[in-house]
């Protein structure tokens, strides 16, 4: 329902049904407007009111409450499209009529956060392959099939048609894509091990993921499984490891390695206090997407752009 307010202009009102009682406000708004992510709603809650009172982060709703917001706000929050821009050079590993595999260097974002941002891989992809603008996770992530953290390097895949994107994303979602990473960790991993710990977005800090699930948590719990294998050791108490992702959750490898007692070298978000100085001085995260193999056998690999000596473990 849309109403008129002289102070704020037209406003949109949502009534809270009994089925929504106890929901967080940002999650409730996401259900009402699924084209806008929970994260985007969380960033504008100061413009939302509940029962004519200012909303707050983490607010939970009660049945019968009325949530109001500027009527134009959902349209303002719609993302994209990503602007075409060639300020980032694409290092192509493989290219055909269906797929593009490329090397993403550390320190470059995969995609922009808003339509005016440039200098990302996605901007360069739209410049070179305009057809990608028609499909993807959302208009700011045209064609992309996987995503890497800003500090992570390695293989990135993009589709050149919507049919290819849909098929490949079904493979990814079904766990049929084999993904292998290389990383340098603190300490020495003695033997192959599997870490299987679910992850959630850390309450109060959406930049971080955590395996600690508070009592009464009603958000999404994401299953996550990682295989860790030692490859090389080095005298400076660090080790090269192979990491196989059985799932694909934000910061999964970083959190699982930290939980295993071997955080990634250069990880200033999940690292240990005793290595914080080293991690900061190195200036980058030593994590690399080494190989992606699709169910049809197509395999794409890229070697790390960091030089790390060592001896076989």
Report yes or no: 225 and 247 within 8 Å, Cβ to Cβ.
Answer: yes
End-of-domain residue from the set 173, 196, 217 = 173
CA angle 89, 94, 98 (to 5 degrees): 105
Domain end (from 173, 208, 238): 173
Query: Are residue 251 and residue 154 in the same domain, yes or no?
Result: no
Among the candidates 105, 140, 173, a domain finishes at 173
How many secondary structure helices (H) and strands (E) does the chain include? 7, 17
Query: Same domain for 303 and 272?
Result: yes
Question: Taking 50 as the threshold, does the pLDDT of residue 6 lie above it?
Answer: no
Question: What pTM value is reported for the model?
Answer: 0.77
Q: Which residue has the higher pLDDT, 282 or 94?
A: 94
Q: How far, in Å, CA of 1 to CA of 259, rounded?
A: 47
Task: Count how many domains the chain has.
Answer: 3
pLDDT given at position 128: 96
- The CA-based dihedral angle spanning residues 125, 105, 285, 155, taken in that order and rounded to the nearest 10 degrees: 70
The pLDDT of residue 9 is above 80: no
Position 221 confidence tier, pLDDT thresholds 50, 70, 90? very high
Domain-located, residue 82: no
pLDDT digits (tens, 9 = 90+) for 170-204: 999 999 999 999 999 999 999 999 999 999 988 87
Q: What is the mean pLDDT of residues 250-265?
A: 97
Distance CA 96, CA 118 (A): 25
| Cα of 313 vs its chain's centroid, Å | 32
Higher pLDDT, 215 or 198: 198
Task: Name the more confident of 311 and 256.
Answer: 256
- % of the chain with per-residue pLDDT over 90: 64
Domain that holds residue 69: 2-77
Say if 274 falls within a structural domain.
yes
> Distance of CA 168 to CAs 35, 253, 292, Å?
21, 22, 12
pLDDT in tens, 95-109: 999 999 999 999 999
Instruction: Read off the pLDDT of each residue in 203-211 and give the average, rounded to a whole number.
Output: 84
Say if residue 187 is in the same domain as residue 266.
yes
């Amino acid at each position: 329902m849309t109403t008129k307010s002289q102070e704020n202009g037209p406003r949109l009102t949502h009534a809270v049904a009994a089925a929504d009682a106890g929901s967080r406000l940002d999650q409730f708004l996401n259900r009402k407007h699924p084209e806008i992510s929970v994260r985007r709603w969380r960033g504008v809650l100061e413009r939302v009111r509940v029962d004519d009172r200012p909303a707050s982060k983490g607010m939970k709703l009660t049945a019968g409450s009325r949530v109001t917001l500027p009527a134009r706000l959902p349209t303002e929050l719609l993302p994209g499209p990503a602007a075409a821009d060639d300020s980032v050079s694409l290092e192509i590993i493989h290219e055909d009529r269906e797929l593009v595999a490329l090397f993403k260097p550390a320190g470059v974002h995969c995609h922009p956060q808003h339509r005016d941002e440039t200098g990302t891989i996605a901007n360069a992809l739209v410049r070179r392959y305009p057809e990608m603008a028609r499909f993807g996770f959302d208009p700011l992530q045209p064609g992309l099939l996987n995503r890497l953290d800003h500090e992570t390097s390695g293989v990135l895949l993009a589709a050149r048609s919507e049919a290819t994107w849909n098929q490949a994303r079904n493979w990814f979602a079904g766990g049929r894509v084999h993904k292998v990473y290389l990383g340098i960790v603190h300490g020495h991993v003695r033997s192959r091990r599997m870490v299987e710990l679910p992850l959630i977005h850390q309450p109060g800090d959406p930049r971080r993921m955590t395996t600690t699930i508070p009592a009464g948590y009603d958000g999404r719990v994401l299953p996550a499984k990682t295989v860790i294998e030692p490859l090389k050791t080095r005298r400076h108490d660090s080790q090269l490891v192979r990491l196989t992702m059985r799932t694909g959750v934000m910061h999964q490898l970083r959190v699982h390695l930290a939980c295993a007692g071997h955080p990634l070298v250069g990880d200033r978000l999940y690292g240990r206090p005793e290595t914080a100085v080293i991690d900061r001085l190195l200036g980058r995260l030593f994590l690399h997407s080494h190989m992606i193999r699709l169910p049809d056998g197509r395999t794409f690999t890229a070697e790390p752009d960091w030089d790390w000596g060592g001896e076989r473990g």
